[in-house]
Amino acid sequence: MNEGRERWTSRTSFIIASIGAAIGLGNVWRFPYMCYENGGGAFLIPYFVALFTAGIPLMIVEYGLGRKMQAGAPTAFAGVRKGTEWIGWLALMVVMLIFLFYPVIMAWCVDYVVYAFNLSWGTDAKVFFEQDFLQLSGSPGILGGIRWPIVIGLAVVWLAIYLSLFKGLKALSKIVFYTVITPWVILVIMVIRGLTLPGAIEGLKFYLTPNFAALLNPRVWLAAYGQIFFTLSLAMGTMIVYSSYLPKKSDITNNSFMVSLANCGTSFFAGFAVFSILGYLAQAMGVSVPQVTQSGFGLAFITYPTAIRLLPFIPAFFGILFFLLLLTLGIDSAFSQIEPFVAGFTDKWHFNKKLVLPVVCVCGFLIGIIFTTRGGYYWLDIIDYFASSYGLTFVGLLECIVIGYIYKAHKMREYVNEVSDFKIGKWWDVCIKIITPVILGISLILNIIALVRKGYGGYPTWATAVGVLITLGIIVISFVLMSIKAKAVHEEGAED
Ligand code: PHE
């Protein structure tokens, strides 16, 4: 089937590319903060439960589906049953929303690498980030003009993405090797630097001390499952398309375990770099650790720069390193967001990839400019919320239903077992048919209730309504894309 399809140069390059896709900005700022917010060390228990009951099982689904169907998400779903093709498109629409804003965060990192040379953020990193750098307009209703430094950063990032992808998988196989190893080397340096600072131990206590009462809180469990999906890049078509480039007879189970464990191990390790420095900052400021951290982006662009400025020895060097760390972490995740999207179109209509890729990159850049405006930050936050909380959960839920009940879990398990180094048992069917969809379903319902009750993030109702409309819009577009006839190819081995 599909002999002409591009292939990874080796199993290692597939694994490295998948690890690169999974490890991203989410590992360095999102994971540590989630951990803190949800009971410190106790979060690790639901986190690992989620990894084994949903993360790895779904990774096996996506690798199995991509490898079996030898196609990106839409065509792979169409191969299971015609009418489910829209789910694949929906995954690509969600990943599209993500790749519109993800490079913008990387653009901030590009700018911050430059600022780090002379620690431009000065004594008040918060004022610098919000007022000098983003120049926040105060409301999503006021876009307030473009911030050119961010646009320039964005152009750099998109150019890097384009150059890395246009030569195809062979070049990508080599590039990901550097974009996975480099952040790891930087992480090791940052962990050593962090752990040797006074106060580090307080930060680690804050990171690791368990609070078992938190285990009784359903929110903590939902947060853990959400984090696992985001961090493993599941339900976005990424892992499906990556495995579709695997040659026949490639293992699935072992690869799934390796990629998932490498990703989660990196998150755990990154926590040491982040929290040791926060402990140091807390001591320097004479406050407790919870008082120094800011959630989400604040951690990376406010709290961390504040701490770096106080370092006793070559702070600028560590500042540059930190933002290079984020950039190198993000870049291979960004490739992995574009690739499935492009493959979705080329698989169905056999467009020339060399033409689709630049069009996607230019459009991604142009639309991304919205997020570089003075009100763009709010939109970034809104789109992130809708894509990550609803898009991802909904697609994940549908994937479980399609594979568990339509394709039949046991059939997929038998297929996977045939080609894999080691076999998975019936526990996997239970995860895919019951545990994962139930958790995702509850999570979706709770999120919807919270949205109806309180809106999101204190934004005006109309702004939340735009988010809802975009979410509904991408569902409609998915059906439209499904209904457009595929281009038939007469070569032997083509699908559809
Ligand atoms: N998993 C990546 C991270 O943790 C994010 C990502 C999203 C990657 C979507 C690929 C696709 O940052």
Closest CA to 133 of 247, 297, 248: 297
Backbone dihedral region of 488: left (phi > 0), alpha (psi from -120 to 50 degrees) or beta? beta
Closest CA to 134 of 161, 108, 167: 108
Q: 75: Cβ below 6 Å to ligand 1?
A: no
Residue 193 belongs to a domain: yes
Q: What is the CATH number of the domain that holds 334?
A: 1.20.1740.10
In sequence order, the 6+-apart residues with CB closer than 8 A to the CB of 182 are: 324, 328
Residue 196, SS3? coil
CA of 278 to the centre of ligand 1 (A): 24
Residue 1 belongs to a domain: no
What is the distance between the alpha carbons of residues 183 and 186, in angstroms, rounded to a whole number?
A: 5
Residue nearest to ligand 1 atom 6, measured at CA: 233
What is the distance between the alpha carbons of residues 338 and 357, in angstroms, rounded to a whole number?
A: 8
Residue 430 has a pLDDT of 96
What is the distance between the alpha carbons of residues 448 and 182, in angstroms, rounded to a whole number?
A: 40
Residue of 333, 338, 392 to test ligand 1 pocket, by largest number of atoms within 8 Å of CB: 333
Q: 98: Cβ below 6 Å to ligand 1?
A: yes
Closest CA to 340 of 103, 66, 27: 66
Q: Which two structure tokens, joined as six digits, stand for 445?
A: 């319902």
User: Torsions phi, psi of 22, nearest 5?
Assistant: -75, -50
CA of 287 to the centre of ligand 1 (A): 33
| Tokens 């580090």, located at residue | 200
Residue of 230, 263, 332 to test ligand 1 pocket, by largest number of atoms within 8 Å of CB: 230
Q: 66: Cβ below 6 Å to ligand 1?
A: no
Q: 25: Cβ below 6 Å to ligand 1?
A: yes
**Helices within 117-168 (DSSP H only):** 125-127, 148-165
Residue 205 belongs to a domain: yes
Residue 2 belongs to a domain: no
Q: 331: Cβ below 6 Å to ligand 1?
A: no
Residue 3 has a pLDDT of 61
In sequence order, the 6+-apart residues with CB closer than 8 A to the CB of 436 are: 53, 54, 57, 58, 396, 400
Q: Which domain holds residue 213?
A: 11-483
Q: 233: Cβ below 6 Å to ligand 1?
A: yes
CA of 255 to the centre of ligand 1 (A): 18
Domains held by the chain: number: 1
CA of 496 to the centre of ligand 1 (A): 29
What is the distance between the alpha carbons of residues 419 and 66, in angstroms, rounded to a whole number?
A: 14
Residue 225 has a pLDDT of 85
Q: 22: Cβ below 6 Å to ligand 1?
A: yes
CA distances from 315 to 276, 318, 467 (A): 15, 5, 40
Is residue 201 classed exposed, middle or buried when 0-12, 13-18 and 19+ CB atoms within 10 A define those classes? middle
For residues 396 and 432, the answer to whether their CB atoms sit within 8 Å is no
Q: 303: Cβ below 6 Å to ligand 1?
A: no
Q: 231: Cβ below 6 Å to ligand 1?
A: yes
Residue nearest to ligand 1 atom 9, measured at CA: 233
Residue 32 has a pLDDT of 82
Q: What share of the chain is helix, strand, coil (3-state, %, to 5)?
A: 80, 0, 20
- Taken in order 346, 349, 354, 359, is the CA torsion positive or negative? negative
Residues of the chain with pLDDT under 50: 491-496
Residue 101 belongs to a domain: yes
Angle at 66 between CA 65 and CA 71, to 5 degrees: 125
